Amino acid sequence: MEKKYRVLVVDDQYVARSFFEIHVEMTKKYELAASLSRAEQAIAWCAEHPVDLVIMDVMMKYGLSGLACARTIKQNNPQIRIILTTSAAEEQWIEKARSSGIESFWYKEYSDIPLSEVMDRTMNGESVYPETSPNPEFGKGTKFDLSKRELEVLRELTRNLTNEEIGEELHISPHTVKRHIENMLDKTGYKSRVDLAVNARVLGLVVHEEKPGTERNKEDRL
């Protein structure tokens, strides 16, 4: 009997984790090694058990991010191949995953390539990445209507920061921050910076890399 690849699934969402489990178990080439809900558990598992492929979500509610743990796994076990996944439309993770040596990246909600194909191509030595990030609707426009700098401002805006604080983070003036926010309101049709931030979060349009629960504790000044 041909040896099957052992797959470790890591996702904090039960539905997504179950999808990956079923997907692996229905294939002939792969078998489920384990299914974990916390990214840091994957580091210890890979150190103690044989694993050929890790399928891991980028975003985790608790503990370390999938991207951070994937980096550690690659450092400790370079022979293990990794597919990072996400349902968010955030684009900054693509380059960060590439630079970390992660083999492949798959958008759960947006990819035209089936997961099984990504798995096969990854195990065949190929690096499978989307040509571009998703372009979901954002108000009366889409994500691609926003400039790179506007997306950077929007990412900081989801942290509940003032214009002055956003300016400090991005090394631009508060006036420039205000102008970018006004431009985004005009492009999207949203009525306030609160609408911008809330809808960006709901859509996963931009996601700040701070751990969940570490947002600055301050009054709502959006």
**CATH number for the domain harbouring residue 180:** 1.10.10.10
As a dihedral over the C-alpha atoms of residue 191, residue 195, residue 196, residue 201, rounded to 10 degrees, the angle is -170
- Of 69, 98, 123, the last residue of a domain is 123
Measured distance CA(172)–CA(144) in Å, rounded:
22
34 and 92 both lie in a single domain: yes
Indicate if the pLDDT at residue 218 is higher than 80: no
146, 115: one domain: no
Residue range 10-21: mean pLDDT, rounded: 93
- Is residue 155 a contact partner of residue 208, using CB atoms and an 8 Å limit? yes
* pLDDT over 60 (residue 1): no
Query: Which sign does the torsion angle of CA 153, 159, 161, 164 carry?
Result: negative
pTM for this model (two decimals): 0.84
Most confidently predicted of 13-17, 31-35, 199-203: 31-35
Structural domains in the chain (count): 2
**84 vs 215, more confident:** 84
- The whole-number pLDDT of residue 131 equals 87
Which CATH number belongs to the domain containing residue 20 in this structure?
3.40.50.2300
Residue 115 lies in a domain: yes
Q: Is 130 part of any domain?
A: no
d(CA 109, CA 89): 9
pLDDT digits (tens, 9 = 90+) for 190-215: 999 999 999 998 888 988 765 443 33
**Parent domain of 118:** 5-123
On whether residue 186 sits in a domain, the answer given is yes
pLDDT at 220 over 50: no
Q: Does residue 64 surpass a pLDDT of 90?
A: no
Residue 2, pLDDT > 80, answer no
